[in-house]
Amino acid sequence: MFETLLNYFQNSPLSLWGPFFVLLLCGLGLPIPEDVVLITAGVLGQIDGRSWIEVTALMYAGVLGGDSITFFAGRHVGGWVLTSRWFQRIFPPPKQAKVVDFFDRYGSMGLFIGRFLPGLRAPIFFTAGSMKVPFLKFLLFDGVAALISVPVFVWLGHWLWERFHDDIEQFNETLSQTHEYAGWAALGLVAFVLSGFLVWNRRRRVRKEASMP
């Protein structure tokens, strides 16, 4: 998938904007791993002489844009889609109930966690829209989550191509080795943020209960 995207966008006017539009489509359910698109964007940025920070900013907008499209689709047509026969074949009521239970259990933090659940990300965001979750709240939690994952994978592609662009076999081998580590690093950051949120939320509840007569 990486080589396909690289060959398609390299040396073309879409070397920067191509991955951006692919990320928009990923938000709609295009079956391409988001991290592969981000790594490709980092490689293309290095080839074109762009800063990985510049590329990250645009890819970040693409990720949030794709997620927002899914969210607003749920907001405007969620009630009809969730009850339609064709949707229930793809996403049957028991799975829909699991998503609703997910929100009941994690609340707004479910939007943050959902960003790191590829198979459930689109249903979670779609359901959030259909449940009339405020868009600014959705954007806040999704944006913080994307701020963890997007820079990691764009930087990885940029860094690897800078060092191994003249040896594609070594590049692919190093990519396969470091890709998993980058994923674990992102998950580690997620766990750190989530733990901090849970501790803060627990203390807030204790203070609230203590102040009640």
Measured between alpha carbons, how far is 40 from 45 in angstroms, rounded to an integer? Answer: 8
Q: Please give the pLDDT value at position 88.
A: 65
- Quick one: which of 72, 191, 62 has its CA closest to 127? 72
Give CA angle at 63 (59, 69), nearest 5°. 140
Instruction: Give the number of other CB atoms < 10 A from CB of residue 182.
Output: 19
Measured between alpha carbons, how far is 9 from 89 in angstroms, rounded to an integer? Answer: 35
Q: Please give the pLDDT value at position 144.
A: 87
Measured between alpha carbons, how far is 129 from 28 in angstroms, rounded to an integer? Answer: 14
H or E element in which residue 180 lies: helix 168-211
Q: Please give the pLDDT value at position 68.
A: 92
Q: How far is CA 2 from the centre of its chain?
A: 18
Q: Please give the pLDDT value at position 43.
A: 92
Q: Please give the pLDDT value at position 133.
A: 83
If you search the block for the tokens 């510049």, which residue do you land on? Answer: 54
Residues of the chain with pLDDT under 50: none
- Quick one: which of 20, 35, 25 has its CA closest to 116? 35
pTM for the full predicted model = 0.77
Q: Please give the pLDDT value at position 132.
A: 81
Q: Please give the pLDDT value at position 183.
A: 62
Q: Please give the pLDDT value at position 113.
A: 78
Q: Please give the pLDDT value at position 205.
A: 65
What is the domain range of residue 206? 2-211
Per the structure, the count of domains in the chain is 1
